[in-house]
Amino acid sequence: MNLPNSITFSRLLGLPFLLYGLHNPTDRMRWICLAVFLVAAGTDWLDGYLARKLNQVTDLGKFLDPLVDKFLVLAPLLALIQLGQVPAWGVFLILARELLIAGWRINPNLTGSTKISGANLWGKLKTVSQILAIALLIAPTPNSWETPSLVAFWISVILTWISGAIYLWPQKSTQPAVKTSGLTVE
Ligand SMILES: O=P(O)(O)OC[C@H](O)CO
């Protein structure tokens, strides 16, 4: 457990507060939750930066970082369903893709590599779009912001699936076959 991975874990600390604070929130509580959410989201940049700078990129980090991001994004989205701000089926689309890629990432038979596949550029872009959409939805914005916030949410849903498809799409042609227990998987 190195410093970058500890920072990744610390991202989870704000989640209980977010879930509590977004239950029937006042405007003031929304601002506080927005600040907590953005600080937690900021650690996503910090852990990656430190891992590269300190030369501490590990398989554990490549697995943990995207997983913790999924918790960070899904916790407020569930609260936002409860508040009637986002439809459950939209959040389900995000949840389904995130589970799919988390499972794919740790399965060498599927990735074609015994090394953990880290997040790619599209995955990072997807997470940024989710964070922006959630920030807009948490903020106590006037009614006129409802549509732009929802548009941001749906853009993030689309990017979530595009980035997922990009992980899965090219592997047949670009990844070498992996031999597992005498069985060669292509
Ligand atoms: O697309 P994923 O599942 O690799 O997640 C991307 C990470 O959240 C980027 O930090």
CB of 78 shorter than 6 A to ligand 1: no
pLDDT band at 179 (very low <50, low <70, confident <90, very high): very low
Domain extent at residue 53: 3-185
pLDDT band at 173 (very low <50, low <70, confident <90, very high): very low
Q: Which amino acid is at 168?
A: L
Separation CA 8–CA 4 (nearest Å): 6
Looking at the predicted structure, is the pLDDT value of residue 172 above 90?
Answer: no
Task: Locate 164 and state its tokens.
Answer: 């997922």
Q: Considering only CA atoms, which residue is closest to atom 9 of ligand 1? A: 124
User: Does 13 score more than 70 pLDDT?
Assistant: yes
Backbone dihedral region of 86: left (phi > 0), alpha (psi from -120 to 50 degrees) or beta?
beta
**Mean pLDDT of all residues belonging to the chain:** 89
- Indicate whether this complex's ipTM tops 0.90: yes
Q: Domain containing 25 — which CATH number?
A: 1.20.120
Centroid of ligand 1 to alpha carbon of 138 (angstroms)? 21
Lowest mean pLDDT among 5-9, 31-35, 91-95: 5-9
Number of domains the chain is built from: 1
